[in-house]
Copies of this chain bind each other. A is one copy, B any other.
Amino acid sequence: MKAVGIVVEYNPFHNGHLYHLQETKKQTEADCLIAVMSGNFLQRGEPALVSKWTRTKMALFAGVDLVIELPYAFAVQSAETFASGAVALLAALYCDEICFGSESGKIEPFIEAAKTLLEKQNEYDIYIQQALQTGINYPQANTLAWNQLHLDKLDVTKPNNILGFSYVKAILEQHHPIVPRTIPRIAACYHDETFSHPSIASATSLRKALSGSIERLETISSYIPSYTKQLLEQYYFTYGTFHDWERYFPFLKYRILTMEESELQRIANVDEGLEHRFKQAIIEAETFSQLMTSMKTKRYTWTRLQRTCTHILTNFTKEQMAKMKKPTYIRLLGMSSNGRRYLQTIKKQLSLPLVTNVSRLEPHPIYQQEKKAVFAYTAIFPEAIRSKAIKEEYATPPITLF
């Protein structure tokens, strides 16, 4: 059976995702489509609109065969760490190809850039350091270094190009026999907040249009499959809310206010005196957005700050992060009958444990952080629902769609 991997967040699953998924199947003639998906917190440092379980259902309804959790320790990270964790998991599942959507749409520039970077890593690092010293932020420094290495065939100001590049680089770096492939993204840019296409819009624009309100679900219904709509409705009626940063702000503010600066300093990503700036800014901030706006500088991008807030909320420390080099288990969130069949064929060759019951994982450093992420994610629920949601993390067997 031919297995093809994709890396997803599905926040929420929309028609653009469906297009990518169907094109991937068509172009690769995959027998088994494997998605590595971020859990409850996402790469850009946000809580997912709905839990991992509901997003797993969306993926299965759309035709994914296996949904694997990308652990928090790799998901809420820079593109490089995110990609390296995701690729390691897809390789561990013996994927033949990895297929990603990109603004570029052609695979050659990705491969060329990844090869160059691997050869000239030292040179690149020096360019980056030099550029950062001028006071610009990391994405800007990256673009500069990129141009200095004559890699301008690939536009790395585009977020999906950066991710794609990182997947290819991880494949080469980790020496996996995986073929990278890309499909051009259609119609909607990642950051687009307007609707310019009748049925395709970015997840960002959909979340914005939804604004956390079930009443506004109808306004986005032409951009999402009907099962996404039903699953969002079902989630809202079961849990009473969608998730966004503002809902977590009381907890984040409580936490930052009652922490010592020395404790803040221990949190992943809190460096260069960021602890003082958090302590100062939090006193006046009455919303998450106010906190971000008052802290954002040329140097600290919104995404970087947001990721740092997620680490504070979930209590993810530098010490923990330093220990987590690569994924050490494969956590199955969901599977189709096809997926199950594929797992049967590779079961005996797996080099990482395939986990369907997380209670067997403890105490496991990477899973410890996953639990903390679940505890933080469920903190906004009323108590009875919170207990239920926490139990789901432990007791939910992989979701099956047979």
Q: What CA separation (Å) do A315 and B260 show in the bound complex?
A: 9
Q: 1/0 contact trace for A291-323 toward B, CB 8 Å?
A: 000000000000000000000011100000000
Q: Is A383 an interface residue (CB 8 A)?
A: yes
Contacts of A379 in B (CB 8 A): 250, 253-254, 257
Which residue of B has the minimal Cβ distance to A283? B390
Q: Is A48 an interface residue (CB 8 A)?
A: no
Contacts of A259 in B (CB 8 A): 315
Decide if A286 touches B372 in the complex (CB within 8 Å).
Answer: no
A386 to chain B, nearest CB (A): 8
Decide if B258 touches A372 in the complex (CB within 8 Å).
Answer: yes
Using known A-B contacts A258-B314, A258-B315, A314-B258, determine if residue A286 contacts B383 with beta carbons closer than 8 Å.
yes
Using known A-B contacts A286-B384, A286-B387, determine if residue A251 contacts B249 with beta carbons closer than 8 Å.
no
B-contacting residues, A14-69, CB 8 Å: none
Q: What CA separation (Å) do A375 and B253 show in the bound complex?
A: 9
Q: Is A376 an interface residue (CB 8 A)?
A: yes
A268 to chain B, nearest CB (A): 14
Q: What CA separation (Å) do A45 and B284 show in the bound complex?
A: 29
Decide if B376 touches A258 in the complex (CB within 8 Å).
Answer: yes
Q: What CA separation (Å) do A253 and B258 show in the bound complex?
A: 15
Q: 1/0 contact trace for A311-349 toward B, CB 8 Å?
A: 001110000000000000000000000000000000000
Which residue of B has the minimal Cβ distance to A363? B261
Q: Is A78 an interface residue (CB 8 A)?
A: no
Q: 1/0 contact trace for A252-295 toward B, CB 8 Å?
A: 01110111100100000000000000000001101100000000
Q: 1/0 contact trace for A371-393 toward B, CB 8 Å?
A: 01001100100011011001000
A248 to chain B, nearest CB (A): 10
Decide if B315 touches A383 in the complex (CB within 8 Å).
Answer: no
Contacts of A249 in B (CB 8 A): 383
Q: What CA separation (Å) do A255 and B376 show in the bound complex?
A: 9
List the interface of chain A (C-beta within 8 A of B): 249-251, 253-255, 257-260, 263, 283-284, 286-287, 313-315, 372, 375-376, 379, 383-384, 386-387, 390
